[in-house]
Structure 1
Amino acid sequence: MTEQKTPMQRALPGLLIAGSLGGVGLVMVSLLSLAPPVDDGSEPRAVAQAEPTTVEIANAGAFVLPPTVGPGGKNVPLTPARLDAPPPLAAVPVVPAIPKPKVKTAKARPTRIKIPKIKVNAPIGAVTVSKKGVLGTPPLSRPNRTGWYKHSPVPGETGPAIINGHVTTRSGPAVFDRLRELAKGDHIYVYRSDGKVTRFTVSGIEQASKNAFPTKRVYGNTSNAQIRLITCGGVYNKTTHHYTDNIVVYATLSKKKG
């Protein structure tokens, strides 16, 4: 029997993040199998000279990416993991995903996200992909709004639900301005239109260059219900109006009610 692909597998096998004006950035759709190879620092580079310099020897360890996504935390610098690293393991026991309705009804959708630690209490709107393969972001005129990619799983269902939000706009800090402060064990609550409330527990957080975005780790299928929160980070380029990096938070479903 041919295995049935999920909507996520069909519509979004891989995504790449690019920058946008003072915000979370754009998401470019591409097949994982067609994604160009990216040097993630996991393999040694060839050097032109026969022997490494003293400076290279002293700094060799600084360029070795960790094999796992870090836990984050106060005063802990965020770093990217190797591109072949899997999503971080759950911080607490996971609970079974919410099953999809057996009868045809209006699809549930996420309506609000709350993150107590960083004082986020924001509405969730739907975003989708344009003909050019660009995933929309919340309007810059609504800095407190987040965007759920409507072809990713509904938060609480099996797979990685994707929610993005701006870090800043021309008017000042935006909804995910403090996203980088989250750490392993923190809670994220997502409210749904069907009355269900889901609690996700952060399992890890990283800051990755947009030139080496961890597409497979972020958008790859999972066996349980997970969520990814994405915003911009790193250095802001005033000329291009782009940030250099992305902040990615990974979390797993740890409680549900309703």
Structure 2
Amino acid sequence: MSTRSMSRRGYLIALVLALLAALVVLVLTLGGGAEPSTAQPPPAAQPVAVDPEPPAQGQDAVAALPKSEPVSIDIPKIDAHSSLVPLGVNADNTIQVPPVTTPLQAGWYTYAPTPGEVGPAVVLGHVDGNHQKGIFFRLKELAPGDRVSVARRDGTTASFEVTKVHQVPKKDFEAEGVYDDTAGPELRLITCGGVFDRSAHNYVDNIVVYAKLVGR
């Protein structure tokens, strides 16, 4: 055989062997002869840590209400019932009070939280005026546990329970912390009290009732 024929035969054998090798690879790939995959499945979803709800402020704590203007106040124990007019600040930075000519009218301080919101809502009324008893004439008779209801413009009623009653000299009123921030919804009822100073045409003390929200 010539050298040229042997080279041609060797080329054909090499080609056949290459084709056989390719066929073996194809069979192993398609026929499932390969080893199973060692890739791990996706990890299971892990629970997300959630912070627990903050503890309630006592068993009788009530969630705060959204902002809504108060329209009336009702204090059954002292037979006090009145609509509420908005009160702002006088030129000397003191809180306005309802007109003394209408002593049975109570008012709410518009720069404080509305009753039911977090913080100290403030309602003011006269002890007397225009030669007659005022809406808060009997305010000093309230005691811890007594109830105060404030109807709101959104149709809800904020119910408060009295926690304490203080008679405070007006000269010490700022130190009393009546308007200090509070952790929950509270209410302050304020009127005059104590001895009447005829020279100053005013009472020397204030009666301050503190109450907390207990219902709606």
TM-score with structure 1 length normalisation? 0.59
1:1-258 maps to which residues of 2 (within 5 A)? 93-100=60-67, 108-215=68-175, 217-256=177-216
Quick check: 2:104–2:133 contact (8 Å CA) kept in 1? Answer: no
Which residue identity is paired with 1:93?
D
CA RMSD of aligned residues (A): 1.7
Deviation at 1:97, TM superposition (A): 0.6
Label 1:136 to 1:190 Cα distance change in 2 as closer, same or farther (>3 A).
Answer: same
| Matched-pair contact (CA < 8 Å) for 1:91–1:185 | no
| TM-aligned CA deviation for residue 212 of structure 1 | 1.1
Q: 1:210 to 1:197 in 2, by over 3 A?
A: same
SS in 2 for 1:254: strand
Aligned residue pair count: 160
Q: 5+ residue gaps in structure 2?
A: 1-56
Identity over aligned residues, as a percent? 41
Q: TM-score, normalised by structure 2?
A: 0.70
1-structure distance, mates of 2:101, 2:146: 29
Specify every segment of 5 or more residues in structure 1 that has no aligned partner in the other structure, as ranges.
1-89, 101-107
By how many angstroms is 1:94 displaced? Answer: 2.5
Q: Is the contact made by 1:226 and 1:250 (CA closer than 8 Å) also made in structure 2?
A: yes
Greater length-normalized contact order (CA 8 Å, ≥ 6 residues apart):
1
Distance 1:210 1:216 in 2: 10
Max Rg structure: 2
Give me the whole-angstrom Cα distance separating, in 2, the residues matched to 1:185 and 1:214.
26
Task: Report Cα offsets for 1:17-62 as digits up to 9, x if no partner.
Answer: xxxxxxxxxxxxxxxxxxxxxxxxxxxxxxxxxxxxxxxxxxxxxx
Residue identity in the other structure for 2:62: V
Question: What residue number does 1:12 align with?
Answer: none
CA distance in 2, matches of 1:98, 1:123: 20
Q: CA deviation at 1:164?
A: 0.6
Structure 1 runs of 4+ with >2 Å offset: 214-217
